[in-house]
Each structure stands twice: as structure tokens, then as C-alpha cells.
């Protein structure tokens, strides 16, 4: 087991291996993304029953919740990739971390945007200082910080390292921020209707949601792989194997 892990680690660290193996994965990931998205949305938008309180407006959940979950786990993955880079100096990890940041921020924006759209029929206003939305906004700020820091450094390498340190500090802080925002929210008359707070969801509603969540992860993996491949080509542009690909 350990030997196998070690071999996998060395392979993952090799840009050439990653580039070649992911070429085979891309079509599959793309197919799963499209099929999952279509099934999830068709089931969610057409077949799931309407919510007894919110009517049809709850259906935005099928975009909002997967995006919000992904925005949070992407930050964690970014911080872990950063830690791998800091500890073992694996360059691939730095590129992956760099690539994840804007994608995670993108999902964060989608979650905020759909949250606002959802808020309009639910609360009658585009923005309410709801605990989840506020946490999501702060997460977006953290993403901005990581990206800004990475770009501000003189050398790319110290940019990667600085961003990794900040991402790790952010990772430790996220639960504290979430907890304090939730605590703050309970003090200030919370919105009576909480988005996405369902003690028990009807299976017809839940299954499309689960499909959408899994699909979003697959789609995220696809985006990360595509962008990491670009990073690989750029950073390894002087190596012969890249020259062979680019100028056959």
C-alpha cells in the first residue's frame, strides 16, 4: 500500500505523466459532466415536486447548493495542494493550487449570485445578511486575497509559496469565521425562512440534488485538469517532450 502510494505520488509529481494520463480522462469527465448536468436538471426542474413553502423558486437549489459546497471544498483542496508544495516542493501542486483559486472563486460568485436571485422571491429583497450568504461572501474575499497575493510577488515561486501560506491560514480560519457569523446571525433576528435548511427532503427533491453535487465535482475536476495542462505546457515549454507536442 505504502509503496503504491509512493509510486502514485512520484507519478503525480511528473508533469509529463499527468499530461499524458489526463488526456485519456478528459473525454470521460466531459461526458459525465454533460450527462449528469442534463439528468440532474431535468429531474430537478421538471419532476421534483414544488416546495410547500417556497413554491417553484426553491429549484435554484440545484445550482446554488452544489456551487456553494464546491466553493468551500475547493478552498480546502487549494490549501492542501499549497501545503504539499510547501512541504515537498512538488511544483505540480503549486500549479494545481494556482489553477483552483479562480475556479473556486467562480463557484463562490455563482453561489452568491444564485443566492441573491433566490432571496428576491423568498425575502423580497436581493440581499439579506443571512449567515450562509455572509460566510460565502467572506470566502470570496479570502479567494481574492490568495489570488491578489500570488500575483503581487516578484517571482512566481514566492508567489506560489505566499499564496499557499495564506490559503493554510485561511483554512484554519474558515470554521472560526463560519461559527462566528452563524452566532452573529442568531443575535440579529435571523430571516425566518432559511435558504436550504430542510430537516428532511423528499427523495424526489434530494436525488436530483445529489446528482448535481456529484456532477459539479466532476465538472470541477475537468476544469482543474484542463487548466493545469495549460500550466504544464507553459512551465515545461523548454522541455523536449512539450516541443514535440507543440511542433510535431
Partner 1 sequence: MSLGLVGATIRRDLTLAARNPGEWLNPLMFFLMVAALFPLAVDPDPKFLSKIAGGVIWVAALLATLLSLDALYKADVEDGSLEQWLASGESLYAMSLGKALVHWCISGLPLTLMAPLLGLMLSLPADAYQALIFSLLVGTPVLSLLGAVGAALTAGVRSGGLLLSLLILPLYIPVLIFAASAVYHAGIGMDYKGQIGFLGALLALAACLTPFASAAALKLNLSR
Nearer to partner 1, 157 or 204 (CB): 157
Whole-number Cα distances in Å, 92 to 10, 161, 233 = 11, 13, 12
Q: Binding of partner 1 at residue 155 (CB under 8 A)?
A: yes
Q: Rule CB under 8 A: which of 118-147 touch partner 1?
A: 138, 141-142, 144-145
186 binds partner 1 (CB under 8 A): no
| Binding segment toward partner 1, per CB under 8 A, in 26-34, 45-53, 181-189, 205-213 | 181-189
Phi, psi torsion values for 200, nearest 5 degrees: -140, 125
The residues, any chain, with a CB within 8 Å of residue 123's CB and separated by 6 or more, are: 191, 193
CB of 100 to partner 1, least distance (A): 18
CB 143 within 8 A of CB 79: no
Q: Residues, the chain, total?
A: 248
Tell me the residue ranges of DSSP E strands in 101-191.
Answer: none
CB atoms within 10 A of CB 127: 14
Which of 52-60, 72-80, 113-121, 167-175 is the region at the interface with partner 1 (rule: CB under 8 A)?
A: 167-175
Residue 80 within binding range of partner 1, rule CB under 8 A: no
The region of 10-18, 119-127, 156-164, 203-211 touching partner 1 under the rule CB under 8 A is 156-164
Shortest distance in whole angstroms from residue 177 CB to partner 1: 6
Residue 188: what are its φ and ψ, rounded to 5°? -105, 70
Contact flag: residue 172 with partner 1 (CB under 8 A): yes
Give the residue, chosen from 24, 46, 154, 186, that forms a contact with partner 1 under the rule CB under 8 A.
Answer: 154
Amino acid at each position: 500500500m505504502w509503496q503504491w502510494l509512493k509510486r502514485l505520488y512520484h507519478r503525480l509529481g511528473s508533469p509529463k505523466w499527468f499530461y499524458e494520463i489526463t488526456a485519456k480522462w478528459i473525454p470521460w469527465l466531459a461526458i459525465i459532466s454533460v450527462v449528469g448536468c442534463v439528468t440532474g436538471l431535468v429531474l430537478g426542474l421538471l419532476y421534483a415536486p414544488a416546495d410547500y413553502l417556497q413554491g417553484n423558486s426553491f429549484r435554484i437549489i440545484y445550482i446554488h447548493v452544489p456551487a456553494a459546497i464546491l466553493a468551500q471544498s475547493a478552498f480546502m483542496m487549494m490549501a492542501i495542494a499549497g501545503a504539499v508544495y510547501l512541504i515537498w516542493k512538488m511544483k505540480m501542486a503549486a500549479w494545481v493550487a494556482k489553477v483552483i483559486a479562480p475556479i473556486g472563486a467562480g463557484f463562490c460568485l455563482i453561489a452568491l449570485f444564485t443566492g441573491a436571485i433566490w432571496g428576491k422571491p423568498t425575502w423580497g429583497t436581493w440581499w439579506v445578511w443571512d449567515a450562509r450568504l455572509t460566510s460565502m461572501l467572506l470566502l470570496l474575499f479570502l479567494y481574492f486575497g490568495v489570488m491578489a497575493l500570488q500575483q503581487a510577488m516578484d517571482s512566481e515561486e514566492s508567489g506560489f509559496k505566499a499564496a499557499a501560506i495564506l490559503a493554510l491560514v485561511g483554512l484554519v480560519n474558515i470554521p472560526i469565521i463560519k461559527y462566528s457569523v452563524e452566532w452573529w446571525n442568531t443575535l440579529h433576528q435571523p430571516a425566518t425562512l432559511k435558504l436550504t435548511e430542510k430537516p428532511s427532503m423528499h427523495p424526489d427533491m434530494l436525488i436530483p440534488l445529489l446528482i448535481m453535487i456529484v456532477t459539479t465535482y466532476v465538472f470541477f475536476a475537468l476544469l482543474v485538469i484542463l487548466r493545469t495542462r495549460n500550466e504544464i505546457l507553459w512551465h515545461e515549454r523548454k522541455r523536449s517532450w512539450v516541443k514535440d507536442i507543440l511542433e510535431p
